[in-house]
């Protein structure tokens, strides 16, 4: 099964079946002792470099799930029938048995996997795309060995690895935040429900990581857990604007995509104005500020659309113009204390991230804004007369 080359460097030579699915796609099916899996395959948890570039694609380990599988593996007669999925880089080679060319859809051979006991996780030639919890359970179980089934593919392209990770998990629930964070860095063919969210997810990613963004590192994602705004709240706000609001004017009606820079410019200008007008409520945890809460993000998104559409189609508002419009509404807002002056008054922390409360706060802010605009237009008309 293995060939020793040195004390720390060696090879696994695994009997495998190569399956040709398309002209370019090759899969390799083999069995290996699960205790050896972590010698050559890493769990690439999603993270970001110092320049905010996405690295990895896997979900964090779930210890309770691992413990349950481990307990089962330590029982009398365990079985793990599902194959794990591993992405190899091109250091892994397949050697077909004999000299025959592949005329059928499959052929037997050996998969040669290099191993170096000194490798760090990032240096290993394999990444576990699916089966992370099972692999961890086998590794930790009090058993001598346990063969597992593996299906592998070979590529140096991390984008392709992310694509396969999303596709493999598309029929099972994935943490939404993980999916949203992976989408901007994935350009392959994905299910429609993911394709339509790629643009909003890209905008959220840029807002959370651009140096000039007022929302930088304020959005809570798997790689920025310290954020105070839930990624889904900001994503939903952007999706609303793309479908029925100001961002719609920057979107292609044919493809649903758009020019990211003007969209980002508008979003950054608006939220910079929000930060300027509401400094006491800005950047706080949502339990202390409803501005950072889902109800605040969504309702302010509707207000952003209303303000922006007053300036269109000539141009988009500047930061100062957004701030001027918001300053007139600041006395009516109750983000961190006080009581909202609704028809049935509500304390600031009683409004929740529900469709009903979002509509309540949004309708109130929009009505107050319309009153101010109407009053301003009346004054301007009198002055003109």
Q: If the chain, 385 residues long, is cut into consecutive pieces of 10 residues, what is the mean pLDDT of each piece?
A: 63 94 88 94 65 54 77 89 91 85 81 93 87 90 95 81 64 58 63 72 92 95 90 93 90 70 95 98 96 97 95 91 95 96 95 95 95 74 54
Q: Report how far residue 207's alpha carbon sits from residue 50's, in angstroms, rounded to the nearest whole number.
A: 16
Backbone torsions φ then ψ of 108, nearest 5 degrees? -80, 165
Distance CA 368, CA 326 (A): 11
pLDDT at site 385: 47
Tokens for 307?
């303000």
- By residue count, the chain amounts to 385
Rounded to two decimals, the pTM is: 0.59
Secondary structure element (H or E) that encloses residue 129, with its range: strand 126-130
Question: Helix-strand-coil percent breakdown of the chain, rounded to 5?
Answer: 45, 20, 35
Q: At what angle do helices 198-209 and 231-244 cross, to 10 degrees?
A: 120
Handedness of CA 121, 129, 75, 72 (dihedral sign): positive
| Distances from the Cα of 283 to the Cα of 120, 238, 270, 328, angstroms | 37, 19, 15, 21
Distance from C-alpha of 165 to C-alpha of 41, rounded to nearest angstrom: 15
Measured distance CA(127)–CA(38) in Å, rounded: 9
CA 278 to chain centre: 28
Pairwise CA distance, residues 69 & 141, whole Å: 9
**What residues contact 67, with CB distance under 8 A and at least 6 apart?**
137
For 256-302, write each residue's pLDDT tens digit.
567 789 999 999 999 999 999 999 999 999 999 999 999 999 999 99
Spatial distance between the Cα atoms of 273 and 320, rounded to a whole number of angstroms = 7
Domain ranges of the chain: 2-168, 196-384
d(CA 213, CA 269): 9
The pair of structure tokens assigned to 104 is 């059928």
Q: Which two tokens stand for residue 187?
A: 């350009």
* CB neighbour class for 319 (10 Å; exposed up to 12, middle 13-18, buried from 19): middle
Tell me the pLDDT tens digit for each residue of 163-207: 766 666 655 555 566 666 666 766 665 656 667 678 888 899 999
| CA–CA distance, 342 with 345 (Å, rounded to integer) | 5
């Amino acid at each position: 099964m293995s060939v020793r080359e040195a004390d720390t460097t060696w090879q696994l030579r695994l009997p495998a079946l190569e399956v040709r699915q398309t002209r370019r796609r090759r899969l390799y099916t083999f069995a290996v002792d699960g205790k050896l899996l972590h010698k050559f395959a890493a769990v690439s948890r999603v993270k970001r470099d110092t320049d905010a570039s996405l690295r990895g694609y896997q979900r964090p380990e779930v210890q309770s799930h691992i413990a349950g599988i481990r307990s089962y593996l330590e029982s009398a007669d365990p079985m793990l029938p599902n194959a794990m999925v591993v992405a190899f880089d091109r250091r892994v080679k397949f050697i077909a048995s004999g000299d025959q060319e592949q005329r059928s859809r499959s052929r037997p051979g050996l998969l040669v996997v290099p191993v170096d006991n000194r490798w760090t996780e990032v240096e290993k030639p394999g990444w576990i795309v699916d089966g992370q919890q099972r692999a961890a359970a086998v590794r930790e179980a009090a058993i001598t060995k346990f063969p597992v089934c593996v299906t592998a593919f070979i590529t140096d392209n991390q984008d392709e690895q992310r694509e396969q990770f999303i596709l493999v998990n598309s029929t099972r629930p994935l943490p939404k935040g993980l999916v949203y964070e992976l989408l901007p860095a994935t350009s392959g063919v994905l299910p429609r429900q993911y394709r339509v969210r790629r643009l909003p997810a890209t905008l959220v990613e840029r807002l959370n990581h651009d140096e000039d963004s007022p929302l930088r590192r304020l959005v809570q994602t798997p790689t920025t857990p310290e954020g105070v705004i839930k990624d889904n709240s900001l994503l939903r706000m952007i999706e609303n604007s793309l479908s029925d609001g100001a961002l719609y004017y920057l979107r292609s009606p044919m493809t649903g995509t758009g020019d990211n820079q003007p969209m980002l410019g508008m979003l950054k200008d608006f939220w910079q104005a929000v930060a300027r007008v509401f400094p006491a409520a800005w950047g706080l945890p949502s339990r202390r500020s409803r501005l950072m809460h889902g109800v605040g993000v969504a309702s302010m998104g509707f207000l952003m659309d209303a303000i922006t559409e007053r300036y269109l189609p000539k141009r988009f508002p500047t930061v100062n113009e957004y701030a001027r419009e918001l300053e007139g509404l600041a006395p009516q807002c109750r983000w961190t204390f006080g009581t909202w002056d609704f028809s049935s008054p509500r304390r600031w922390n009683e409004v929740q991230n529900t469709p009903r409360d979002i509509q309540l706060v949004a309708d109130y802010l929009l009505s107050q804004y319309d009153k101010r605009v109407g009053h301003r237009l009346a004054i301007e008309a009198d002055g003109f007369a």
